[in-house]
Amino acid sequence: MYFRKRSLRFILLFLFSIFFFGFFTVKLILIQVFRSSYLSHLAQKQQTHVITLTPRRGTIYDRRLRPLALDVAAYSLYAAPRMMKPSDVQKAVTVLPGMIGVSRSFLHERLTRDKGFVWLARKLSPEAMEKVTKLKLRGIHFMKESRRRYPGQTSAAHILGFAGTDNNGLEGLELKYNSTLAGRVGTAQMLRDARQQDLLIEQVLVKPQDGFDLVLTIDDNVQYFAEQALAKGFQRSRAISASIVVMNPQTGEILALANQPTYDLNEFGKSHQEQRKNHAVCDMYEPGSVFKIVLATAALEKGVIQETDKVFCENGEYRVANHILHDHQRHGTLSFREVMEQSSNIGVTKVAQKLGGALVNEYAQRFGFGKKTGIDVPGEISGFLKPLAQWSKTSIGAVPIGHEVGVTTIQLACAISAIANGGILMRPYVIKEIRDKENEVIESFSPRVVRQVMEPATAARVKSILAGVIERGTGKLAKMKNVAAAGKTGTAQKIVGGQYSHDQFYATFIGFAPVDNPQIAMAIVFDNPRGTHFGGTVCAPIFKEVAENVLKYLQAEEAAQPQEDHATQGPAR
C-alpha cells in the first residue's frame, strides 16, 4: 500500500515534469522560430536608434550671385525626462527660461513628462547653445540643425517668402520651389549606452541630398533702390498699400518687385497677413488713365487717327449714353498727341467711339489684360476684362479710360514693356537658373515671347507720345535731367459700396527709360494715398528716383563688366 502511494506520486511528478518541459519547449520554439526577428529588433532598438540627417536647404541668390536666403547653423535643445531626477528638473526650470526664451511653466510641463525625448527649444543661436552647454545640466542635450537666414531682412520679402522652423517653405519662392530647395533627408544609426544616451554614429543608412540653389533675375541693388523709394512715398502718402515692379522690357526679367507694407523675413512670426501680401500680383484694381495706352496703340495702328489730328474735348463735359463724362480740367480742341499728354478722358472716348468697342477689347487682350502673365511666383490673379458681349452703352466711355476693367501691377509692367521693346509682350519671370551644390546649372530659364502686340512702327509712335507725357504733360515730375523717359499717369476713383468714391483713389504710373534704348520699365501703384492722390504727383517722382539710381548703377556695372570677365565667379559657400 505504501509502495503504491509512492509510485502514484512519482507518476504524477513525472507527468507534471513532462508537461512543463513540453510547454517550455514549445514556448522556446515559438520564440526562436516565430518571434526571433521581433525580439532581435527590440534589443537592437534599445541599443541603437535611427536619426534623421537634415540636408542643406538650397541658397537663393540674386542675379549677381549675392545670397538672399541661406542656411546657417542652429542648435535645437531637447531633454530626456526619464533620465532626470526631480532636482535636475528644478535646476533646469530655474536657469533655462531666460536663456532659451520660454516660460517656467512650459519648461516644467515638458520636463515632467514620462518620455524619453521632448523638444524644449528649436533653432537656437550658437551663443545660446554655448551658454546652456556650460551649465552641464543632466538630461539636457543639443541637436545640430540649420535655420533659414535672410541677410536683407525685408529685401525682396514678397518674392522670397520664408521657410518655417522645420525648414519647409511657407510662402513665396520658398513655398513654390520647396521640393527643389529642400533636398532629401538622410538617416543614420546611432549607438546608445545603458542610460539611452547617444554615443556615436555607427552607420549612415541613407546619405542626405542637399537642395538645389536658385539664381534669380532680381538684382539686389535695384531691389534696394525700388524698396527705398517706395517706402518713402508710402510713408509720405499714408496710403493703404503700394507696389512697384521694375522689369527688363527686352527680356521680361524682373529686376525688382516690392510692396508696402512689408515685413522682416527673419521675424515673419511677428508679421500679419496684410504685410505678407504680394500686392503686385494679388491685387486687382481699376487702372484709370494708364489704360489709355491700349486705345492709343489700337487707334494709331488701325489708322483711325494721327498724332496731329484735332479732337474737340467739349470743354470738359461730354455725354455718353445716359452718363456725363468729365475731364479733370476743361479742354477745347487738342491734337491727339495733346489728348494723351493732358490725359483727356473725353478726347480718348471720342477716338474710341471711332475705333469701336471690338478693337478696344481686342487690343486689351493683346496686351494681356484679363489673363495671368505667367510670372513664376505664387498667388497671381488674372484681373478682369469684361467680354464685349457684356458691354453696356456707357462702356465705350469707361473701358478706354481704365474703368470697368481690373488689372494688376505686374500686368501693367508687362504692357508698358511691350511698347518699350518695339511691340512684343514678354512673359515676366524671376527664376534665372537652378544649380546644384557643385555650381552646375541643372535648369536655366530664358526669355519667352507671348505675342506680338503691335507693329514696331506703331510702338515707336506710341513711345514718342508717352515721352511727351513726361516732357509736357501730366507726368512732368518723372522727368530726369540727362535721360529721356516715357510714361503715363493714372488716377482712378475706388469703388466703395458699389459706387465710385469721391475721396478714395488709386494712383498709378507706368514708364520706361531711356526712350531710345529702354533698359528698364516700371509700374507703380498706390492704394488710396492721402492728400494729393494723382498718379503724376504720387507715383511719378518715385519713378524718377528709381530710374535715375538704377540707370547709373547699370551703367557702372556695364563699364566694369570687361574686368569681371577675366575672373571666375561663383556663389560663395
Q: What would the pLDDT profile of 351-364 be if each residue is shown by its tens digit? A: 999 999 999 999 99
Query: Which pLDDT belongs to residue 206?
Result: 67
Distance, in Å, from the CA atom of 357 to the CA atom of 355, rounded to the nearest integer, reads 7
pLDDT over threshold 70, residue 572: no
Query: Which pLDDT belongs to residue 45?
Result: 55
What is the average per-residue pLDDT within 491-499?
A: 89
Query: Which pLDDT belongs to residue 216?
Result: 98
pLDDT over threshold 60, residue 217: yes
Task: Tell me which of 369 and 498 has the higher pLDDT.
Answer: 369
Q: DSSP string covering 351-385, please?
A: HHHHH-HHHHHHHHHHTTTTS----SSTT----EE
Query: Which pLDDT belongs to residue 44?
Result: 54
What is the average per-residue pLDDT within 517-546?
A: 96
Query: Which pLDDT belongs to residue 198?
Result: 47
Instruction: Compute the residue count for the chain.
Output: 573
Query: Which pLDDT belongs to residue 213?
Result: 96
Query: Which pLDDT belongs to residue 200?
Result: 45
Please, how many CA atoms are within 13 Å of residue 423, restricted to the half-sphere of its CB? 15
What φ, ψ does residue 490 adopt, rounded to 5°?
-155, 140
Whether residue 218 contacts residue 244, with contact meaning beta carbons closer than 8 Å, is answered with no
What is the average per-residue pLDDT within 100-119?
A: 82
Query: Which pLDDT belongs to residue 138?
Result: 83
In 3-state terms, what secondary structure has residue 409? helix
CATH number of 50-216: 3.90.1310.10
What residues pair up with 326 in beta bridges, in sequence order? Answer: 317
What is the average per-residue pLDDT within 563-573?
A: 43
pLDDT over threshold 50, residue 151: yes
Indicate the range of 180-184, 340-344, 470-474, 513-517 predicted with least confidence: 180-184
Share of the chain above pLDDT 70, in %: 87
Q: What pLDDT band is residue 141 in, cutting at 50, 70 and 90?
A: confident
Query: Which pLDDT belongs to residue 49?
Result: 56
Q: Where in the chain is the domain with CATH 3.40.710.10?
A: 220-264+279-437+446-562
Indicate the range of 9-13, 209-213, 225-229, 309-313 predicted with least confidence: 9-13
- 322-339: per-residue pLDDT in tens? 899 999 889 999 999 999
Q: H or E stretch including 242?
A: strand 241-247
Query: Which pLDDT belongs to residue 30?
Result: 63
Indicate the range of 40-44, 140-144, 559-563 predicted with least confidence: 40-44
User: What angle separates helix 409-420 from helix 456-471, to the nearest 10 degrees?
Assistant: 110
Q: H or E stretch including 457?
A: helix 456-471
Q: H or E stretch including 444?
A: strand 441-444
Q: What pLDDT band is residue 382 in, cutting at 50, 70 and 90?
A: very high
Q: What pLDDT band is residue 305 in, cutting at 50, 70 and 90?
A: very high
What is the average per-residue pLDDT within 309-326?
A: 93
Distance of CA 262 to CAs 209, 272, 302, 350, Å? 33, 10, 44, 42
CATH class given for the domain over 220-264+279-437+446-562 = alpha beta
Share of the chain above pLDDT 90, in %: 64
Q: What pLDDT band is residue 566 in, cutting at 50, 70 and 90?
A: very low
- Number of Cβ within 10 Å of residue 110's Cβ equals 20
pLDDT over threshold 50, residue 532: yes
Contacts of 286 (CB under 8 A, 6+ apart): 402, 403, 404, 405, 406, 407, 492, 493, 494, 495, 506
- Number of Cβ within 10 Å of residue 201's Cβ equals 12
What φ, ψ does residue 106 adopt, rounded to 5°?
-60, -45
Query: Which pLDDT belongs to residue 31?
Result: 62
Cα torsion for 457, 459, 465, 466, to the nearest 10°?
Answer: -160
> Mean pLDDT score of the chain, rounded to an integer?
88
Which grid cell sits at 499? 459706387
Distance, in Å, from the CA atom of 571 to the CA atom of 573, rounded to the nearest integer, reads 6
pLDDT over threshold 80, residue 192: no
Q: What is the pTM of this model?
A: 0.82
Q: Where in the chain is the domain with CATH 3.90.1310.10?
A: 50-216
Q: What pLDDT band is residue 517 in, cutting at 50, 70 and 90?
A: very high
What is the average per-residue pLDDT within 490-497?
A: 91
What is the average per-residue pLDDT within 76-100?
A: 83
What is the average per-residue pLDDT within 54-75?
A: 89
Q: What pLDDT band is residue 573 in, cutting at 50, 70 and 90?
A: very low
Indicate the range of 22-31, 90-99, 302-311, 453-462 predicted with least confidence: 22-31
- The closest alpha carbon to 185, from 198, 169, 200, 204, belongs to 204
